[in-house]
Structure 1
């Protein structure tokens, strides 16, 4: 079992993204979403943002994988979000990852009331009237979209109205995302530490049971304890990402 002590998968990601941003490009790409992305970058959070302006009928495999690999998704629900089949497919995948993988989902209601999202009223009602005509032979897709919108609207999130100070709001959302990410990472590391502490206790018991000093068991125990120390250091590094005041 000593080989376990040589592995670790709980670094803060260095080469991949941590957060997926879902948004309606024509509503917020060059305004709120770009400001939010800049805020996340200031907090050293790696966010995936799709810059593809030309989209097909289905979300790409790469985009699906990007959602699956994210620890957290921020969904910017705007007035025309439901007009986009692409956005609705993204949201359905995000909700699927929330249910199956425990992905954290943070909704932002940008210039729209959560009730309109939850019940698909207002511009969302108009959008779904069109979707139901187009997908009359595939209503399960439409029902899946409706269910995803209802679920995301019931999650705790952020509201951005025309009266909001957008610059302050994106900073607050950035801090919130950072805190939630750290909670996920720390929780993962705590589970890993607990697993290796159990292994360490077992190795120590086996070492004491022997009739003589067992060099191999002693080295295995030292390697396990060293790995526990490394995990605790990584936990401290993650906690240091939190800015003062969070």
Structure 2
């Protein structure tokens, strides 16, 4: 009888990539192009196209999509931290990232990684509306942890 270790059993994922982004900032620009490029290469990518109501609790369907994705691309923008939906997504992504089957990659779109890591600059301004909320400490930790991962910095420039 052959034995199998837990590490040799791989989980099957519904999605290859889950995109986390602030729609108002990047949906029709960078994220739209990124999604198209991934799709053209046959990479099964989850991109939330449903309008999310501000102040609502993250949906069970969205949580399941995060759990059912192998990789995460987190596109941090100046207003990413203003959205409780984005921050709830991020907290779940970081929770899953800690498991060996998941990998998160941050993209810093016209925002400094240190501003995300320490919630300073534009990120501090975006995060202000969450100060005092019960989830704020968890969200700060998730921002810090995600911004500490190796990622890409993209600056908005003319023709760039």
Whether these two folds match at TM > 0.5 is yes
Residue equivalent to 1:42: 40
Partners of 1:164 and 1:88 lie apart in 2 by: 29
From 142, 158, 167, the equivalent of 2:152 is: 158
Residue equivalent to 2:116: 117
Partners of 2:87 and 2:52 lie apart in 1 by: 16
- Deviation of the 1:83 alpha carbon: 0.3
- Deviation of the 1:30 alpha carbon: 0.7
Residue equivalent to 1:179: none
Deviations 1:10-32 (A, max 9, x none): 6986xx32110000000001110
- Deviation of the 1:33 alpha carbon: 0.3
Query: Which is greater in Rg?
Result: 1
Residue 52 (str. 1) matches residue 81 (str. 2): no
Residue equivalent to 1:198: none
- Deviation of the 1:126 alpha carbon: 1.9
Deviations 1:88-114 (A, max 9, x none): 000000000011344110100000010
Larger strand proportion, structure 1 or 2? Answer: 2
Partners of 2:156 and 2:122 lie apart in 1 by: 17
Q: Is the 8 A contact 2:11 2:101 kept in 1?
A: no
- Deviation of the 1:54 alpha carbon: 3.0
Q: Is the 8 A contact 2:91 2:142 kept in 1?
A: yes
Residue 105 (str. 1) matches residue 99 (str. 2): no
TM-score w.r.t. the length of structure 2 is: 0.87
Q: Secondary structure at the match of 2:78?
A: coil
Segments ≥4 residues shifted beyond 3 Å:
9-13, 163-166
Q: How does 1:4-43 map to 2 (within 5 A)?
A: 16-43=14-41
Gapped regions of structure 1 (runs ≥ 5): 167-246
Partners of 2:95 and 2:67 lie apart in 1 by: 9
Partners of 1:43 and 1:86 lie apart in 2 by: 28
TM-score w.r.t. the length of structure 1 is: 0.58
Gapped regions of structure 2 (runs ≥ 5): none
Partners of 1:65 and 1:58 lie apart in 2 by: 14
- Deviation of the 1:124 alpha carbon: 1.7
Partners of 1:144 and 1:27 lie apart in 2 by: 23
Q: Secondary structure at the match of 1:159?
A: strand
| Alignment root-mean-square deviation, CA | 2.2
- Deviation of the 1:165 alpha carbon: 6.4
Residue equivalent to 2:83: 84
Partners of 2:147 and 2:19 lie apart in 1 by: 16
Residue 142 (str. 1) matches residue 136 (str. 2): yes
The count of residues paired between Structure 1 and Structure 2 equals 154
